[in-house]
Amino acid sequence: MTHPVDTHVGRRLRARRRLLGLTQEKLAQAVDIRFQQIQKYESGANRISASRLWALAKALEVSVSYFFDGMNGHEPSLEFDGDFGIAEAPAADVLDEKETIDLVRYYYQLNEEPRRRLLDLAKAMSGDAQ
């Protein structure tokens, strides 16, 4: 059974790796381990040591605290209680989707004006034209 903190850290690792467009193999090479170890970290099956977390943070260009963002000082819950609407879904679940990561990556490659227009379009299509 994986610990919720290890699962949370693994999800954050996967999200950042995908956001940067890195494969598990490329990230593994950057920190001098095998890609299978990255798979185990991302699933939460293996815990990440402090020194390895430091190396991963450096390779992914984030601070070590990035991996713990969203925990708010307590263990994350892995259970979904069903009370959330689509727009309020937990960020960790949303960032597990490759499509979401691709959308964010391409969104930030746009200049400011097209980004604003795309956001307005998405709001209008969702029925949330605030």
CATH of the domain at 20: 1.10.260.40
Asked, for residue 84, whether it belongs to a domain, the answer is: yes
Q: Which two tokens stand for residue 51?
A: 């020194």
For 35-52, the three-class secondary structure string (H helix, E strand, C coil) is HHHHHHHHHCCCCCCHHH
pLDDT at 88: 38
Q: Is 32 a domain residue?
A: yes
Q: Residue 87 domain-assigned?
A: yes
- pLDDT tier, 1 (very low <50, low <70, confident <90, very high otherwise): confident
- Percent of the chain beyond pLDDT 90? 44
Name the token pair of 53.
Answer: 């977390």
106 located within any domain: no
Tell me the percentage of the chain whose pLDDT exceeds 70: 79
- The confidence score (pLDDT) of residue 51 equals 96
> Does 103 map to a domain?
no
pLDDT at 60 over 70: yes
Which of 4-13, 22-31, 70-79 bottoms out in mean pLDDT, i.e. has the lowest? 70-79
pLDDT class of 37 with cuts at 50, 70, 90: very high
Number of domains in the chain: 1
Q: Which of 19-23, 58-62, 71-75, 114-118 has the highest mean pLDDT?
A: 58-62
In-domain check, residue 111: no
Which element (helix H / strand E) includes 125?
Answer: helix 112-126
Q: Is the pLDDT of residue 85 over 60?
A: no
Position 104, amino acid: V
Please check the confidence at residue 82 and state whether its pLDDT lies above 70. no
Nearest to 107 by CA among 99, 88, 12, 96: 99
In a domain, 33, yes or no: yes
Residue ranges making up the domain that contains 68? 4-96
Domain membership of residue 125 (yes or no) is no
